[in-house]
Amino acid sequence: MIHTRRFGEWFELTLPHDWEGFSVDYILRDLWKAPKKQIHFMRMEKHIKINGNPLIDWNHSLKAGDRLQLKLFREEDFGVQPAYREVEVLYEDDHMIVFNKPANMDTHPNTPDQTNTLANAAAFLLQAQGEHRKIKHVHRLDRDTTGAVLFAKHPLAGAILDSMLEERLIKRTYLALVHGRMKAKKGTIREPIGRDRHHATRRRVSPKGQPAITHFELIETYPKQNLSLIKCQLDTGRTHQIRVHLSHLGHPLAGDLLYGGKPIFDHQALHAEKLEIPHPFTKEKITCIANSARHHPWTLYR
């Protein structure tokens, strides 16, 4: 694990032995995948030091034990209006926060005046803690999908976590209750997903759509109710991906009226149960388990 600490607005990372010879430019551009605009800003504002001294040569080879210091915790506008909502926090540190999102809540505002979203609740929490920084969701859940959602607390953490998500280093596991008795014990759905031309919000399997991969595993079947409980993992994050793929298989989510489910619940039976994240700076593995029983009567089937 990489040793780090915070002092005021500054973050300090002690260079590990396997980073010997790396330059600051290499760490930011290639290791952390920071955007060019962000790197330029840090360079111009002199937000980087080495062992307490302002950085002069961005291509200088660093030594193991050198202290890389970055000004990451400066105050800035939240980006959304802080508004109180009762939401469970699963994990939090200086760089990121994970919530257990309830049903009937958007991940972020769709209009400037919307204040009943998870992002508004996240901003309120930071404000209450005296942290004035722009918070950014790393991934989203549908309004009626519950469970673990990851937010970054500053731009560099956001850039690193975005890259990790794209490279499939962040693992997301979902529980889904579907109609029908699923016969396959496990499998992978590789079907591209695109917009449905006949419906504003619906997606569908389409040869011209974006690549989408969903892995599933049967947990249990309920013959009397003609339902199956399955676990899903995503390699991609398309809008409505699990809902579209399972409906395409002939097993729509219970309660998901948009994709052929029956109204036995007041929303689709889908819950983001687990989020596994390599920490963006320490590389420590963070595992968050979202308790589904808080939100779902359907989890009594489990």
pLDDT digits (tens, 9 = 90+) for 208-231: 999 999 999 999 999 999 999 999
Return the ∠ at Cα 255 (arms to 214 and 208), rounded to 5°: 40
Overall CATH class of domain 172-272: alpha beta
Q: Shortest CA distance to 193 belongs to which of 140, 232, 146, 248?
A: 248
Name the band, by pLDDT with cuts 50, 70 and 90, for residue 92. very high
By three-state DSSP, how is residue 227 classified? strand
Q: What is the DSSP letter of 187?
A: E
Please give the backbone phi and psi of residue 60, each rounded to the nearest 5 degrees, phi first.
-65, 135
* pTM, entire model: 0.91
User: What's the burial of 130, exposed, middle or buried (CB within 10 Å: 0-12/13-18/19+)?
Assistant: exposed
Identical fold, 4-71 and 172-272: no
* 198 has a pLDDT exceeding 90: no
pLDDT for 297 = 53
Fold of 4-71: 3.10.290
Please list the active-site residues. Answer: 142
- By 3-state DSSP, what share of the chain in percent is helix, strand and coil, each rounded to 5? 20, 30, 50
